[in-house]
Structure 1
């Protein structure tokens, strides 16, 4: 059936929208887990690595570790969903500028990861180095996850010529 001209054409299809929503939810829950772990461990004294006492069952550290593992797993899933969302967007979007935008943003993420790693190498404070390395890892992961979309965009641009 012909489309009515009164209805605007959607620029994002349902699959891409659902993948994007799933990505945002995973990132949000991972960020909430990170905040929960940070606030929970802020009140703890420095934990002893080795103790002579027998283990006493489930502790607060065990709970925090479970939350941290769940948050890290969701962050990994979000990165994979991010890459899938970009590929889905490219497959269903006929525009020529989207691959250029994705490529440019990927390049910025790579440069940001390199810059964060360089800055972290010159620091001596453990907390600052940890945060910068976390940023470096996140940017590098997102850049790697967007590479299939960059390659797909390059292949499609080459095929148009």
Structure 2
């Protein structure tokens, strides 16, 4: 009996896997940069940085700043890639539930961002406020990056109706 030469349809296409992998790599390197900056700056004494004598040459503080900037840039790129991954998934996936799931998760991220901002406004510890504001910014950025996929899903659903 002859076999069908058609391969089974994959649930995720190659482009979506590639963009998702790039997203995870960017998030991973950004997280590693954050950990490196946190562990490196733990030993810095803040008043020593604000001396009246101009700095001479490249210091460890400058190196940590470069790592922090690279990590923040990669985190921003990862957020954009996250949105592209969702758009690619919605384009490839023919089901109707994926945009609804993305919408529900986006709503949860937006509410989490609002909650983190509200909790941060009541704190007095600078470190706690910084961490909560970082969480708020990350959740809000991911929620905004999800919006094109939600709109695309809505347009495609409207086109089907």
TM-score above 0.5? yes
Matches within 5 A, 1:26-105: 26-48=26-48, 50-105=50-105
What residue number does 1:143 align with? 143
Q: Normalising by the residue count of structure 2, what TM-score does the alignment of the two structures yield? A: 0.94
5+ long unaligned stretches in structure 1: none
Distance in 1 (CA, whole Å) between partners of 2:77 and 2:68 is 14
What residue number does 2:11 align with? 11
Q: Normalising by the residue count of structure 1, what TM-score does the alignment of the two structures yield? A: 0.94
**Runs in 1 of length 4+ with deviation above 3 angstroms?**
2-5, 47-50
Paired residue secondary structure (1:147): helix
Q: Does 1:122 align with 2:151?
A: no
- CA shift, 1:4, in A, is 4.5
1:19-66 Cα deviation digits (max 9, x unpaired): 000000000000000000000000111244532213210000000000
Distance in 1 (CA, whole Å) between partners of 2:22 and 2:149 is 18
Task: Work out the number of aligned pairs and report it.
Answer: 159
Distance in 1 (CA, whole Å) between partners of 2:47 and 2:66 is 17
Query: Greater CA deviation, 38-47 or 48-57?
Result: 48-57
Distance in 2 (CA, whole Å) between partners of 1:137 and 1:98 is 25
- CA shift, 1:143, in A, is 0.3
Distance in 2 (CA, whole Å) between partners of 1:45 and 1:160 is 62
